[in-house]
């Protein structure tokens, strides 16, 4: 429980040494109070333009029908489901960081959990677009819900696609609740700062953040239930996040399609989801850390730990790729064997080897401490992993479908411009939402960071202070108030 790093074990503080409670509030909250840097506007302009492209592509799709996509016999699921699975997977790291690492008392998570949870929500929004639009007539998408409809028929609850609907919508709802509950004390911080501000928008800020903070007053009688609720939500989200990607994998593994019908899919999909999600968190955090000067809170220790998780999950994914081949060979099933040979050496072998290079080879660089603590290397690898994990889903979906049992129905899938615009458009939507988030919402959990500072321990003053007397003078100099 102690927040004191044990120097003898080589532990280091979770934030820069000598950070005060006020420094934390100031560092995080001031981002939402200053006017946005010019680069933020440029980034928002680019992202919002792509989001506009998404709107246009979807509008055209709804107007014309799904024929404007490249999907056709035999590849009926192509980029839409690839994108869906990719986005859902990205979301998983947010829940992993916020819930699983919380249950394991990994206090380093506090620096990144808020942004990672926001990323989860935005990624799930992007993911949910695809099942919505690929049904062809999105205005009838409510047929999937157990609602009375004009045909007096209910959904088929034995269908994995309906399981998926329940899993993903539960996931979105619970992630949003978890995120909001975590935000309440920080919204109260923003409200209290706005109360002391003067200026045109001070009143608007105080009203808006005040309404959202629900009158939070940091009361211990509240913290008691709040902490319990937070822990229960973490305990609920942990099996939830494992179930969501398992259910997504059921969409494939409950079919009889060679290449899909395998029992390894649920754990393999979950490992891949965590892998891709951490890569996306890394990409975003490196940008935010550089642009907003968050190096004191998001330290190299955090980045290194995330790289280690990517190394583990990347290796797990590599194991799953190998095991799929082994089982295909061991099964003696000629269709199964053919699908895997075709993946690696058939017409889509370029996609397969891109996937292997990005997902299995590139994270192996992180065995070296020098490379996993190098910002350019980790940024490049995180981008590679994002690309590689998109290709993984593409390979699973398209290579399995394009040549199955009957050679007479074989084909080759090519995306159309509308496919490409829709995909790039969701990236625009995601980044637009994320940029708005870092502009208006505390992007780091203020209250949680304060709770892991050494002076947060009420027994701090009673601890012996044998090791630091000689550093006292320097620390005092470093702590001189900035204002």
Partner 1 sequence: MAADPKKTEASEHHAPAKPRPAGPIIIGPKELPAPPKAVAARKRTSLLLAEYSTPAKCLHAAEKLRDAGYKNFDAHTPFPVHGMDAAMGLPDSPLGYLVLCGGLTGVSIGVLMIWWMNGVDYPIIIGGKPGFTLPASVPIMFELTILLSAFAAVFGMFHLNRLPRHHHPIFESDRFRAASDDKFFVSVEAEDPKFDLKKTRVLLEATHADAIEAVEETVAGESPKEETH
Among the residue ranges 175-183, 282-290, 341-349, 431-439, the one whose residues contact partner 1 (CB under 8 A): 175-183
Candidate list 54, 216, 278, 394; residue touching partner 1; CB under 8 A: 216
Candidate list 80, 117, 192, 336; residue touching partner 1; CB under 8 A: 192
Q: Is residue 9 near partner 1 by the rule CB under 8 A?
A: no
Q: Judged by CB under 8 A, how many residues of this single chain contact partner 1?
A: 98
Count of other CB atoms within 10 angstroms of residue 174: 18
Q: Where are the alpha helices (DSSP H) in 346-458?
A: 349-356, 369-372, 375-394, 400-402, 417-440, 446-451
Candidate list 42, 140, 214, 417; residue touching partner 1; CB under 8 A: 214
Q: Is residue 481 near partner 1 by the rule CB under 8 A?
A: yes
Q: Is residue 437 near partner 1 by the rule CB under 8 A?
A: no
Cα 18 from Cα 3, distance rounded (Å): 14
Q: Is residue 152 near partner 1 by the rule CB under 8 A?
A: yes
Candidate list 72, 224, 255, 331; residue touching partner 1; CB under 8 A: 224
Angle between helices 79-95 and 220-253 (to 10 degrees): 150
Cα 181 from Cα 445, distance rounded (Å): 11
CB of 112 to partner 1, least distance (A): 18
CB of 483 to partner 1, least distance (A): 6
- Among left, alpha and beta (phi > 0; psi -120 to 50; other), residue 65 is left
Q: Is residue 455 near partner 1 by the rule CB under 8 A?
A: yes
Count of other CB atoms within 10 angstroms of residue 211: 11
Candidate list 37, 218, 322, 411; residue touching partner 1; CB under 8 A: 218
CB of 68 to partner 1, least distance (A): 31
Give, for 103, the enclosing helix (H) or strand (E): helix 101-103
> Would you call 157 helix, strand, or coil by DSSP?
coil
Task: Between 16 and 55, name the residue whose CB sits nearer to partner 1.
Answer: 16
Task: Between 228 and 369, name the residue whose CB sits nearer to partner 1.
Answer: 228
Q: Could you tell me if 134 and 66 are in contact, meaning their C-beta atoms sit under 8 angstroms apart?
A: yes
Q: Is residue 108 near partner 1 by the rule CB under 8 A?
A: no
CA angle 11, 13, 17 (to 5 degrees): 135
Residue 440 is encoded by which pair of tokens?
């208006």
Task: Between 38 and 469, name the residue whose CB sits nearer to partner 1.
Answer: 469
Q: Is residue 217 near partner 1 by the rule CB under 8 A?
A: yes
Task: Between 178 and 394, name the residue whose CB sits nearer to partner 1.
Answer: 178
Task: Between 247 and 389, name the residue whose CB sits nearer to partner 1.
Answer: 247
Among the residue ranges 121-129, 159-167, 384-392, 406-414, the one whose residues contact partner 1 (CB under 8 A): 159-167
Q: Is residue 8 near partner 1 by the rule CB under 8 A?
A: no
CA distances from 479 to 7, 16, 21, 22, 200 (A): 21, 11, 12, 11, 33
Candidate list 18, 89, 259, 425; residue touching partner 1; CB under 8 A: 18
Candidate list 102, 163, 252, 340; residue touching partner 1; CB under 8 A: 163
DSSP state letters, 245-286: HHHHHHHHHTS--TTT--TTHHHHHHHHHHHHHHHHHHHHHH
Q: Could you tell me if 378 and 284 are in contact, meaning their C-beta atoms sit under 8 angstroms apart?
A: no
Q: Is residue 257 near partner 1 by the rule CB under 8 A?
A: no
CB of 211 to partner 1, least distance (A): 7
């Amino acid at each position: 429980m102690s927040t004191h790093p044990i120097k003898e074990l080589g532990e280091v503080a979770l934030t820069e040494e000598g950070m005060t409670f006020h420094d934390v509030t100031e560092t995080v909250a001031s981002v939402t109070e200053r006017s946005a840097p010019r680069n933020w506007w440029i980034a928002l302009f680019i992202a919002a333009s792509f989001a506009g492209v998404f709107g246009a592509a979807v509008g055209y799709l709804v107007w014309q029908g799904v024929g404007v996509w490249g999907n056709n016999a035999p590849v009926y699921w192509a980029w839409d489901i690839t994108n869906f699975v990719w986005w859902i997977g990205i979301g998983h790291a947010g829940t992993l960081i916020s819930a699983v690492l919380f249950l394991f008392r990994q206090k380093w998570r506090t620096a990144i959990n808020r942004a990672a949870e926001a990323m989860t929500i935005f990624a799930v929004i992007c993911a949910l677009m695809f099942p919505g639009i690929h049904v062809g007539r999105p205005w009838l998408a409510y047929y999937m819900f157990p609602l009375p409809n004009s045909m007096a028929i209910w959904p088929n609850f034995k269908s994995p696609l309906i399981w998926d609907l329940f899993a993903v919508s539960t996931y979105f709802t619970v992630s949003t609740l978890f995120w909001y509950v975590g935000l309440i004390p920080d919204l109260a911080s923003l409200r209290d700062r706005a109360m002391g501000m003067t200026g045109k928008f001070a009143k608007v800020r105080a009203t808006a953040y005040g309404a959202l903070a629900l009158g939070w007053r940091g009361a211990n009688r509240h913290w008691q239930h709040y902490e319990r609720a937070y822990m229960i939500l973490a305990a609920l989200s942990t099996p939830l996040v494992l179930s969501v990607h398992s259910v997504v994998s059921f969409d494939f593994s409950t079919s009889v399609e060679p290449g899909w019908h395998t029992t390894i899919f649920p754990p393999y999909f979950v490992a891949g989801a965590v892998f891709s999600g951490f890569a996306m968190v890394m990409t975003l955090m490196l940008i935010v850390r550089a642009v907003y000067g968050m190096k004191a809170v998001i330290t190299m220790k955090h980045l290194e730990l995330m790289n280690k998780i990517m190394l583990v999950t990347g290796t797990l994914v590599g194991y799953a790729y190998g095991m799929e081949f082994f089982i295909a060979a061991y099964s003696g099933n000629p269709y199964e064997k053919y699908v895997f040979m075709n993946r690696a050496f058939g017409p889509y072998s370029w996609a397969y080897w891109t996937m292997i290079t990005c997902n299995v080879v590139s994270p192996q660089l992180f065995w070296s401490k020098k490379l996993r603590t190098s910002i350019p290397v980790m940024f490049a690898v995180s981008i590679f992993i994002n690309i590689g994990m998109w290709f993984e889903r593409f390979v699973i979906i398209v290579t399995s479908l394009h040549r199955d049992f009957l050679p007479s129905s074989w084909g080759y899938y090519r995306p159309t411009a509308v496919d490409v615009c829709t995909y790039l458009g969701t990236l625009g939507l995601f980044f637009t939402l994320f940029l708005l988030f870092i502009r208006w919402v505390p992007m780091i959990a203020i209250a949680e960071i304060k709770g892991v500072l050494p002076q947060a321990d009420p027994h701090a003053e009673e601890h012996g202070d044998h090791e630091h007397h000689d550093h006292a003078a320097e620390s005092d100099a470093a702590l001189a108030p900035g204002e």
